[in-house]
Structure 1
Amino acid sequence: MQLGKDYLKQKAKEYLLELLSIYTPSGKEDNALSFFEKASQELNLNLKFTPSKSYYLGSESSKILLVSHIDTVPGFIEPKEENQVIYGRGAVDDKGPLVAMLLATYILNEKGYNVSFTALSDEENKSKGARELVNSGKKYDYIIVGEPSNTTGIVVEYRGVLHVDIKCKGVSEHSSSASSNLIVDMANRLLQVTKFPKSYDTPSIIPTIFTAGEYINKSPSSGLIHFDIRYSVKSSKQEIILNLKDVYKDCEVAVVEDVPPVKVDINSDLVKMIMRGLIKQGLKPSLVRKYGTSDMNILYTISNQIVDYGPGDSRLEHTDQERISLEEIFISINTYVSAIEELCSKKD
């Protein structure tokens, strides 16, 4: 089956503008149910809607999975199209890649390949969709995660994340005669442990929440600091946590989320085939390490042949300038189709 460039661009434009008009911040992913019901019928792909508010299209027997996410960060942006560029909340992260993967799944199934697609929920929050998939016990031979990778980048490594709450107790005194202050004590120690991003393999330890105090003229009796910590496969999670516990040894230190870093084999068949898919289009692929964390970190446990590739400028993620060109989406559709066709022929 061969669909023309103009048709694919027009279909991508139609789907993306419709999807961008549906507000789906984390927790509201079910707002898109009618869109996926329509796409399921038009593209002849079976639809399954799960308790986590994730969407699966295609056969449940498939061992090849294309993965995006349907949720966005909060803040609706009115979608529009100008000169083959689509604007709107989620255009880059992650509805542009989602549409590219959805159309690629349709093409591949029409060609006789058993490929499935999922739009997972809650990626911008606690990754309920990815965790639900892992807990289902399903395994895959190949998974492509459709996060934006600048259209020619192939993401082979993500840093892990630790979310840590530190709760401290202090002596509550009248502020006019107080001999100590919990806020000052916690802040002094905070300065000891904070590390801003400097290099990929150096952990970043960033305070994102600091609360303390009960009344305007009373020194606080309790306080909380939340740290967002990112670290690569070359860092020791245990050392990071032990250092925090040492600095805050008289406080309660609790890890409230722990997603390990991930690094894939750059010589895997999947990475090679995506590179070939780009080269065939006259493009130069590059291997990328991302400073953040994605569902790929979680899904790695159900397929060691996994990689992140998708259209869109990753610098525009979560900004009010989110936009993606139809040409980027078209390139990605071709790349997905070419890579999976070669993978399947290699297995045969």
Structure 2
Amino acid sequence: MQLEKEFLLQKEKQLLLDLISTYTPSGEEDKALPFFERVSKDLGLSLKVTNTNSFYLNKGKILFVSHIDTVQGFIEPKVEKDVIYGRGAVDDKGPLIAMLLSTWLLHENGYDVMFAALSDEENKSAGARELLNSGNTFENIIVGEPTNGNIVIEYRGVIHLDIECKGKGEHSSSSSENLIVELGEKIRRVYLPPSSYDKPSIVPTIIRSGDRLNVTPSDGYVHFDIRYPSTVNEKAIISEIVNVFVDCEFKVVESVPPVKVQPNNPLVISLFRALSREGIKPSLSRKAGTSDMNILFPIAKNIVAFGPGDSKLEHTDKEKISLEEIYKGIRVYTNTIEELCKEN
């Protein structure tokens, strides 16, 4: 077993350094094609590339799904002892490598598992939406995101809302009203800062108004990023905002519903057992953000999120992951599927 571990540690190091050396921010996922062509040949797994530049290896009704895109900002890869630094090391190329190698090991042992590296997760999730509309369904999906050793069974939903309002353009020295002030007052009335998982957050992220130094603006734009749990109604949130921003135009530019799976889900139970065998005491977790798990929920009988890595490092300039974390991820993914198939 020690020989096998050393082999996997070297393999994951080689693959992860190769992958994070390839800068793939959202919209540039095609740059990863040579990597997946090499992996497909090396590991003996069939490769499919889709219209959104998502990459699929192998086939099966069990799906390991990660994402190949990263946020903007390349970080030069480096290795310190057994820790690898670089953009995407933790989000999401570290979990991706763990899933990829687990897919290979399971395939070698006769298990049919499909691996997907989806595109655009850090933007509008074009890869996940493509998969959702493909007609494919799965018995089990594990979404590979860094989860700090926990099992994520809930994500909040998201609404991205554009608002455009009209005002009265007047010379500033004799103006009778001011759209900027009005927008500020309305924003304060609906603003709900992030507080707890069970309460929605309504956060303004963009505001634009005015284009001349001495004239009050005649139009204004506000964008709200809204997050909400499964216990809150999407229409009720939007209605509350509409009632404040009267006589304005509204456009929902993105809406992803929240997702919640039950703790006694067979996939959750198998994952819990696999983690326990690795000496990890997992907790069931709820995440305030949104992931591809929200989108893929309708095409999975069972779905859950789990992956190696520290989620607090996501999107930072300190992204890193250890080879040991990835190795444990490989073992947990592999043992989970073996446990699941044994039960069935």
Matched, 1:90 2:88: yes
Q: Which residue of the other structure, out of 58, 81, 84, is the alignment partner of 2:79?
A: 81
Report the CA distance between 1:160 and its aligned residue: 0.2
Q: Which residue of 1 aligns with 2:332?
A: 335
Divergent runs of 4+, >2 A = none
SS of the equivalent of 1:246 reads helix
1:298 alignment counterpart: 295
| Contact kept in structure 2, 1:48 and 1:55, CA below 8 Å | yes
- Normalised by the size of structure 2, how large is the TM-score? 0.99
1:1-348 to structure 2, matched below 5 A, reads 4-59=4-59, 62-150=60-148, 152-347=149-344
Query: Could you list the runs of 5+ residues in structure 2 that have no partner in the other structure?
Result: none
Q: Tell me the SS of whatever aligns to 1:191.
A: helix
The answer on whether the counterparts of 1:195 and 1:206 sit within 8 Å (CA) in structure 2 is yes
Letter in 2 for 1:218: V
Secondary structure at 1:176's aligned position in 2? helix
Aligned amino acid, residue 58 of structure 1:
N
CA pair 295-3 structure 1, distance change in 2 beyond 3 A: farther
Distance 2:87 2:77 in 1: 7
- Give the gaps of 5 or more residues in structure 1: none
Count residues with an aligned counterpart.
Answer: 344
Cα distance in 2 for residues equivalent to 1:208 and 1:76: 24
Moved more, 1-10 or 192-201: 1-10
1:264–1:304 contact (8 Å) kept in structure 2: no
Q: How much identity, in percent, do the aligned residues show?
A: 60
Distance 1:199 1:91 in 2: 29
Letter in 1 for 2:125: S
Query: How much does 1:253 deviate?
Result: 1.8
**What TM-score, normalized to structure 1?**
0.97
AA aligned opposite 2:316: T
Deviation at 1:197, TM superposition (A): 0.7
Deviation at 1:214, TM superposition (A): 2.2
What's the CA shift string for 1:144-164, capped at 9, x where partnerless?
0001101x2000000000000
Q: Which amino acid aligns with 1:132?
A: E
Question: 1:218 offset after TM fit, Å?
Answer: 1.0
Q: Counterparts of 1:158 and 1:16 in 2: how far apart (Å)?
A: 27
Q: Residue 147 of structure 1 contacts residue 308 of structure 1 at CA under 8 Å; is this kept in 2?
A: yes
Instruction: Verify the 8 A CA contact 1:56 1:119 in the aligned structure 2.
Output: yes
Q: Which amino acid aligns with 2:5?
A: K
- Calculate the aligned-residue CA RMSD, in Å: 1.1
CA shift for structure 1 position 304: 3.2
The one-character-per-residue Cα deviations of 1:245-301 (angstroms, maximum 9, x if unpaired) are 000021112211100000011101100111111111122111110000000000001
